[in-house]
């Protein structure tokens, strides 16, 4: 496997991972919204600081708090992963472009040299 093929494979892998990170963000948003809906509908008036006021929490309050916290955490991690995989994919694509440019330069040089040699031989043959 050549270096260029390896770079293409890694860029494809990172694109796949980036899609998974977007899906992770979507799941996190669902959890976050579900937690907020449970908190506002089931409780009515949410207790913002349940640990400070020392009020007993019902099961729906706990569920809303857990879903909201988990949703926020999953969205945050998904967002960071999207940025990470996007940077890696752009680096791999940049390296692929650099290797392709190098190959094109060497092909152009060899083609130009071949043409110069052929033209030089035909000029010598004509003289």
- pLDDT tens-place string over residues 89-104: 888 888 888 877 766 6
3-state secondary structure (DSSP) of residue 37: helix
- The listed range with the strongest mean pLDDT (5-9, 13-17, 29-33, 123-127) is 29-33
Alpha helices in 39-58 (DSSP H): 50-53
Position 113 pLDDT exceeds 80: no
Q: Report the first-to-last Cα separation within the chain, whole angstroms.
A: 49
On whether the CB atoms of residues 41 and 87 are closer than 8 A, the answer is no
26 vs 112, higher pLDDT: 26
Q: Per residue in 43-60, pLDDT tens?
A: 666 566 666 666 677 777
Position 124 pLDDT exceeds 60: no
Owning domain of residue 86: 3-126
For the chain, the domain total comes to 1
**DSSP category for residue 86:** H
Write down how long the chain is. 127
pTM more than 0.75: no
Residue 46 backbone zone (phi > 0: left; psi -120 to 50: alpha; other: beta): beta
On whether the CB atoms of residues 64 and 38 are closer than 8 A, the answer is yes
**DSSP category for residue 44:** S
């Amino acid at each position: 496997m050549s270096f260029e093929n390896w770079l293409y494979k890694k860029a494809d892998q990172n694109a796949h991972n980036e899609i998974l990170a977007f899906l992770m963000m979507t799941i996190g948003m669902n959890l976050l919204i579900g937690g907020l809906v449970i908190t506002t509908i089931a409780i009515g008036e949410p207790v913002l600081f349940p640990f400070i006021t020392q009020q007993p929490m019902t099961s729906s309050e706990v569920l809303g708090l857990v879903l909201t916290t988990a949703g926020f955490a999953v969205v945050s991690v998904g967002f960071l992963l999207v940025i990470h995989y996007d940077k890696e994919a752009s680096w791999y694509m940049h390296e692929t472009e650099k290797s392709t440019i190098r190959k094109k330069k060497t092909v152009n040089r060899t083609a130009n040299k071949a043409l110069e040699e052929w033209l030089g031989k035909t000029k010598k043959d004509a003289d």
